[in-house]
């Protein structure tokens, strides 16, 4: 065997070994996949704060990373845990009211059917959708199962508290080291990737841009829309205002249809049950206050040049939720951004030989 053939065999064996060990390592850390992703996201979001503290502390990176971590715990982790307990209480309260019959969807559907003109009812009958009893039963079953699922998930988190806090500890521990040593790790990874330097810069730049712009912008918009929606529900004396506000905040991550999945059904419920002015006010606020927050702030926070198309975010977010659960809210758009960036790099490499040939 000549030297070139031996070199190819050695290189092939090395690549195979690297692939196998990488796959085994990925399998090993799979239980903490969500914790690792969130550690990376939080690190990128709080990196400007860390850099500012490094300048204040005159280059002491460990102290700056520790202070940044304490800030993350006080501003993000503790409020999120408290909010989770409050949401469990409100969701349980609404579920009990549905089960006891205090919230009766039969009356709602009867009132809604009674408000429809006869010609509308006839038209719906002609399209085969006039069986309100069957529709009502399906919606009742869906709402009941939705609350059971939410409560079940929250109870499971409480019952598996050890696993939850273990993952939380891994996330915070990893965040500390990513803040302190992240740039060094990134430089090592960049050198190991078999791509040209400008291609690596585009790929890593896109990754950071998506987190800092798209994810940060989406989170800020979600917090504002959820807060405004919750306050409006509270002012209209709607029970469970905090739960509805958080639901709107989470659903606002879905472009176009987000918060409307909450306030539209509630507005219809208010109108058909006799609370007409509350329903009309909720429709007005939903269209011109809650909805406008997304239209005005998202382009400012994200920027039109770096923004992923809404339909791509919608599909990738739904896909992420379906495959990965709550972690898919972040992973879905990130994978979509990397997908677009890689195809852009590939298209550029295809164009370069053509341009060189034309010249």
DSSP 257: T
Question: Per-residue b/e over 298-318, b at no fewer than 16 CB within 10 Å?
Answer: beebbeeeebbeeebbbebbe
CA distance 303 to 214: 9
Q: 103 by DSSP, 3-state: which?
A: coil
Residue 215 CA, chain-centre distance (Å), reads: 8
What are the tokens at 18?
Answer: 């690297």
Query: What's the pLDDT at 325?
Result: 72
Query: How many other C-beta atoms can be found within 10 angstroms of the C-beta atom of residue 123?
Result: 13
Query: How many other C-beta atoms can be found within 10 angstroms of the C-beta atom of residue 175?
Result: 24
The series of mean pLDDT values per 10 residues for the chain, 359 residues long, is 68 80 85 84 87 89 92 88 76 68 60 58 57 54 57 56 78 90 78 72 72 73 86 84 81 73 80 79 86 74 61 77 75 79 74 56
CA distance 78 to 94: 25
Query: What's the pLDDT at 52?
Result: 92
What are the tokens at 41?
Answer: 């996201």
Phi/psi for 60 (5° steps) reads -80, 90
Query: What's the pLDDT at 100?
Result: 67
Q: 308 by DSSP, 3-state: which?
A: coil
Any idea of the CA torsion for 98, 99, 100, 106, to the nearest 10 degrees? 60
What are the tokens at 53?
Answer: 């503290």
Look at the alpha carbons of 104, 106, 274, 291 in this order and tell me if their dihedral is positive or negative.
positive
- Helix 132-159 with 78-100: angle, nearest 10 deg: 140
pTM of the predicted structure, to 2 decimals: 0.67
């Amino acid at each position: 065997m000549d030297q070139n053939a031996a070199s190819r065999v050695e290189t092939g064996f090395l690549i195979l070994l690297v692939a196998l060990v990488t796959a085994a390592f990925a399998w090993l850390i799979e239980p903490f996949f969500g914790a690792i992703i969130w550690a990376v996201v939080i690190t990128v979001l709080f990196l400007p704060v860390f850099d500012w503290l490094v300048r204040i502390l005159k280059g002491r990176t460990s102290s700056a990373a520790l202070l940044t971590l304490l800030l993350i715990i006080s501003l993000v982790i503790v409020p999120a845990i408290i909010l989770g307990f409050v949401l469990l209480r409100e969701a349980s309260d609404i579920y009990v009211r549905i089960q006891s019959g205090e919230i009766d969807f039969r009356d709602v559907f009867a009132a809604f059917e009674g408000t429809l003109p006869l010609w509308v009812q006839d038209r719906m009958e002609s399209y085969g959708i006039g069986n309100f009893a069957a529709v009502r039963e399906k919606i009742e079953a869906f709402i009941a199962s939705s609350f059971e699922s939410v409560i079940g998930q929250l109870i499971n988190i409480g019952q598996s508290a050890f696993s939850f806090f273990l993952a939380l500890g891994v996330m915070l521990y990893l965040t500390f080291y990513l803040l302190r040593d992240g740039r060094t790790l990134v430089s090592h990874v960049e050198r190991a990737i078999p791509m040209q330097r400008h291609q690596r810069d585009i790929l890593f730049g896109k990754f950071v841009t998506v987190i800092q712009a798209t994810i940060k912008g989406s989170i800020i918009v979600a917090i504002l829309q959820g807060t405004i929606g919750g306050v409006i529900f509270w002012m209209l004396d709607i029970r469970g205002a905090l739960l509805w506000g958080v639901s709107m905040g989470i659903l606002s991550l879905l472009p176009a249809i987000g918060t409307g999945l909450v306030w539209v059904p509630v507005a219809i419920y208010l109108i058909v049950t006799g609370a007409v002015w509350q329903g009309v006010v909720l429709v007005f606020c939903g269209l011109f206050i809650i909805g406008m927050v997304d239209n005005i702030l998202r382009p400012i926070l994200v920027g039109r040049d770096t923004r992923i198309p809404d339909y791509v975010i919608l599909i990738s977010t739904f896909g992420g939720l379906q495959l990965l659960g709550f972690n898919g809210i972040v992973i879905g758009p990130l994978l979509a951004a990397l997908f677009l960036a890689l195809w852009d790099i590939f298209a550029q490499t295809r164009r370069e030989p053509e341009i060189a040939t034309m010249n």
